[in-house]
Amino acid sequence: MLGAFSVGKTSLVSRFVHSLFSEKYHTTIGVKVDKKQVVVNGEDAALMIWDIYGEDDIQEVRMNYVRGAAGYLLVADGTRSDTLDVARQIRNRVVRDIGDIPFVLLINKSDLTEEWEFSDETLEALKAEGWLTVLTSAKTGEGVEKGFSLLADAIIE
Amino acid sequence: MELPEPIGEHLKSLFVRSQFPAYLFVSHDGVLLEWGGGCDRYGLTPLESGVLASDQIDFLEGMLPLEEGWFQLPRLLVHDFRVVDVHFVPGEEGDWVVLLDTTEAANRETVAQQQANDLALLKLDHLKMLAQLRAHNENMRAVLNQLRLTTAVIAEDGGVLFLSRSGLDLLHADKANVEGSNWREVFRFSDADAEQFAQLLEVPRASRERLRLELKMATGRMRSFDIDIQSDPRDPAQRIAYFYDISDLLDLRNKLHEKARFQDMVGKSHPMRQVFQIIEEVARVDATVLVEGETGTGKELVARAIHYSSPRQAGPFIVVNCAGLADSLINSQLFGHKKGSFTDAVTDQKGVFEAAHGGTILLDEIGDIPMNTQTRILRALEQREIVRVGETQPRKVDIRILAATNKNLETEVKQGNFRLDLLYRIRIARVTLPPLRERREDVPLLVEAFAHDICVEYGLEIPHVERDVLSALIAYRWPGNVRELRNAVEFALIRCKEAKLRLVDLPPELTAAGNVGGSASSTDSDKERILSALKASKGRRAAAAKLLGISRATLYRRMKACCLGDDVL
Ligand SMILES: Nc1nc2c(ncn2[C@@H]2O[C@H](COP(=O)(O)OP(=O)(O)OP(=O)(O)O)[C@@H](O)[C@H]2O)c(=O)[nH]1
Ligand SMILES: [Mg+2]
């Protein structure tokens, strides 16, 4: 799970693994590892999920955490358009230091339609670049299963 | 199932003795061989040897084997509340040592990072709200006055037409004086910052960027602001400037940064600030550093801080306690050996100097190293190579050596126990840690930091520390220095049953009349302290040493000095 701070990485994992959501914000320090059994192409597989601290203007995500990953979810916050820039920068560093491993972009907090900052054109442009993009809400659960399973599929391929 | 060959005994003993609180030994094919230290505290247990380690510990899944050798995974959250730094260290023949290391700084970091993020989010909210208000053409001045945000409307000629209430408060200014004055008189920027601000007022909207500038307050203090400038929707020639005060945010950030840089070292006193400065200077160069200081002053923390702020920070940091190494084995432990070079040398073994390749070694208690080993260390320093015991071919090593001692090495040289050329070599730079009694003003800070860490660790409420308790702590002589202080605070917190920490909760030696305010300790009072600690711990040496805030080795040395035999108690 990679992305800017407070975009909802921990909440997405918590929704996906434990079916829970909390409005309260507890920032992540370092990394927390979670596990979930999934079925990919009819076969059982374990997803080891590394929830990593969010990036802010002072600290970048250390690539030590990403090494060894089979793929990653880039998370942006639909109510903060600058979090997409952060996601792009992180992706560039992953490509440079680790390689072009599979990823899916989750644009989270889709329940907050009033504060939404992403235009349809932005989404179209991402698609045109070949980015797999899913709108998610850790709060309502929308798109969460889909996001994780898209990544699992991309990894298996 | 048959267990694979155990990991090299010798490397193992080394890590078990080092400061890491928990360790796992994993075979080359991922099977857990052995574990120890704080594994249960980290919620890793129950564990079973002979079973795949990754089946028992989630974070190991997919980690081993690693291609590049030593690998660090900082700040891993285990057991939902404990943050550890994990090191994967290659052992012998493809085996792995996994070390879990806690730093107290991590707990404090959590709090500070949370505050920093909350503030940053609040700031985003503010800016968003303002943008919306502008879009709706609300009565901006009324709204701006309500916000705790400094805003100003500036005319084309630079005259200030309006300054929000919080702006007037901030600058201790009077509405009548401000309105109509030029912004250069109202906002006391430095010259360079004023130029930037002037440019920002002039450039066309699209190319305006947010600026980070400093403003002088009426008190003379500088505060930092993010400044945004927009055209006034009702009169495009006028500008609205938003000053977002980020000083607290930056303060927090700096604190965070310092925490990381100086590990768990706490201190605002003059001697400690000097120490921090030297650490910063020596971290940048690759020189050998000698860290001097009494027992318990935190010499290892200094070494850690140097390593983790140096270009070698991604490499290993290994502490070798030279006082704990048997003379007969020390060369092989430091430099490795060839199979068959002595009775117990059943395989080829790598020593610490090779294991730390690319990183830093701390030789703690370097004054206790035998002469012939000193010669080998000198060679390693001068030639940047080592020779394994029983071999002749030198091997290149890339390491930085730090040394620590509580002895006066010059005296040791005079007495013929230490090589003068080695002393010169390791003393290229030196950091001298003051004893706690010479920086008593740091005691309250240290007490606060320790109380916080210990309460977080044990899940206790942080009690109020009574004034007389603090006075007693400040007055005490602290022969065991910071380590003794930490133990005293821990002792008191565990005994304390109320929301207040009282004198009676303190360890007895602190409140015994003779000790409070006492000056230089005599051997006699040393002897009494040791005896009472031994009594309190029912003769258990390790526990007594902990009570006194000294290491076990120091306890034995002091007992000898006070003519207390091993048979006492
Ligand atoms: N409305 C809404 N709020 C969300 C959603 N996802 C997360 N949040 C909230 O956003 C805040 C941040 O969520 P986290 O999951 O802690 O974010 P994070 O990316 O893990 O943050 P860091 O660990 O600091 O990088 C919390 O207050 C969550 O309740 C969502 O889908 N909808
Ligand atoms: Mg998080």
Domain match, B293 and B358 both: yes
If one compares A13 and B70, the residue with the highest pLDDT of the two is A13
Confidence of residue B2 (pLDDT cuts 50, 70, 90): very low
Mean pLDDT of chain A: 93
Domain match, B219 and B285 both: no
Report the pLDDT value the prediction gives residue B146, as an integer from 0 to 100: 67
Count of Cβ atoms closer than 10 Å to residue B434 Cβ: 19
Beta strand A31-40 with B71-78 is parallel
- Give the CATH number for residue B305: 3.40.50.300
> How many domains does the structure of chain B reveal?
4
Q: What are φ and ψ of residue B466, in 5° steps?
A: -65, 150
Q: Which of B63, B124, B257 sits opposite A80 (nearest CB)?
A: B124
Which protein residue's CA is at the shortest distance from atom 24 of ligand 1?
A27
Tell me, yes or no, whether B258 lies in a domain. no
- Give the CATH number for residue A128: 3.40.50.300
If one compares B284 and B130, the residue with the highest pLDDT of the two is B284
The CA A26 to ligand 2 mean position distance, Å, reads: 7
Tell me, yes or no, whether B416 lies in a domain. yes
Q: What is the mean pLDDT of residues B239-246?
A: 83
Contacts of A65 in chain B (CB under 8 A): 73
Report the pLDDT value the prediction gives residue B566, as an integer from 0 to 100: 67
Q: What is the mean pLDDT of residues B523-550?
A: 74
Residue B14 pLDDT greater than 60, yes or no: no
Domain match, B398 and B348 both: yes
CA angle, residues B135, B137, B143, in degrees to nearest 5: 105
Tens-place pLDDT, residues B479-514: 999 999 999 998 898 888 788 888 888 988 887 644
Residue B3 pLDDT greater than 60, yes or no: no
Residue A17's domain comprises 2-156
Confidence of residue B279 (pLDDT cuts 50, 70, 90): very high
How many CA atoms lie within 13 Å of B253's alpha carbon, on the beta-carbon side? 14
If one compares B133 and B12, the residue with the highest pLDDT of the two is B133
Domain match, B155 and B178 both: yes
Closest-lying ligand to the alpha carbon of A108? Answer: 1
- If you write DSSP's letter for every residue of B361-401 in order, what string do you get? EEEETGGG--HHHHHHHHHHHHHSEE--BT--S-EE---EE
Domain match, B300 and B365 both: yes
> What amino acid is encoded at B159 in this protein?
G
Domain match, B275 and B326 both: yes
Residue A60 pLDDT greater than 90, yes or no: no
Positions of E strands within B2-159: 22-26, 32-37, 71-78, 82-90, 96-101, 150-154
Residue B550 pLDDT greater than 70, yes or no: yes
Tell me, yes or no, whether B122 lies in a domain. no
Mean pLDDT of chain B: 81
Cβ–Cβ under 8 Å, residues B525 and B533 = no
Residue B207's domain comprises 147-245
Total-model pTM: 0.65
If one compares B228 and A48, the residue with the highest pLDDT of the two is A48
Ligand 1: does its nearest atom lie under 6 Å from the Cβ of A23? yes
CB-based burial, A90-123: b 16+ in 10 Å, e otherwise = bbebbeeeeeeebbbbbbbbbbeeeeebbeeeee
Domain match, B302 and B426 both: yes
The Cα diameter of chain B in Å comes to 92
**Range with the poorest average pLDDT among B88-92, B154-158, B197-201:** B88-92
Dist. CA B111–CA A26, nearest whole Å: 10
Dist. CA B79–CA B60, nearest whole Å: 14
Residue A69 pLDDT greater than 60, yes or no: yes
Domain match, B285 and B423 both: yes
The tokens of B445 are what?
Answer: 């800070």
Report the pLDDT value the prediction gives residue B428, as an integer from 0 to 100: 87
Dist. CA A60–CA A53, nearest whole Å: 9
Confidence of residue B1 (pLDDT cuts 50, 70, 90): very low
Report the pLDDT value the prediction gives residue B547, as an integer from 0 to 100: 73
Domain match, B84 and B184 both: no
If one compares B45 and B415, the residue with the highest pLDDT of the two is B415
Q: What is the mean pLDDT of residues B129-146?
A: 68
> How many domains does the structure of chain A reveal?
1
Confidence of residue B360 (pLDDT cuts 50, 70, 90): very high
Report the pLDDT value the prediction gives residue B518, as an integer from 0 to 100: 38
Domain match, B294 and B425 both: yes
Dist. CA B66–CA B97, nearest whole Å: 12
Tell me, yes or no, whether B139 lies in a domain. no
Domain match, B87 and B170 both: no
Positions of E strands within B295-446: 317-321, 360-364, 385-386, 395-396, 400-405, 429-432
* Percent of chain B whose pLDDT exceeds 90: 26
- Give the CATH number for residue B66: 3.30.450.20
Beta carbons of B76 and A28 less than 8 Å apart: no
- A14 close contact with B: CB closer than 8 A: no
CA distances from B186 to B7, B81, B474 (A): 71, 49, 46
Which protein residue's CA is at the shortest distance from atom 2 of ligand 1?
A109
- If you write DSSP's letter for every residue of chain A in order, what string do you get? -EEBTTSSHHHHHHHHHH----SS-----SEEEEEEEEEETTEEEEEEEEEEPPB-SS-PPPGGGTTT-S-EEEEEETT-THHHHHHHHHHHHHHHHT----EEEEEE-TT-GGG----HHHHHHHHHTT--EEE--TTT-TTHHHHHHHHHHHHH-
Closest-lying ligand to the alpha carbon of A90? Answer: 1
Residue A103 pLDDT greater than 90, yes or no: yes
Domain match, B428 and B288 both: yes
Q: What is the mean pLDDT of residues B175-184?
A: 91
The CA B266 to ligand 2 mean position distance, Å, reads: 28
The tokens of A58 are what?
Answer: 């002072």
- Give the CATH number for residue B441: 1.10.8.60
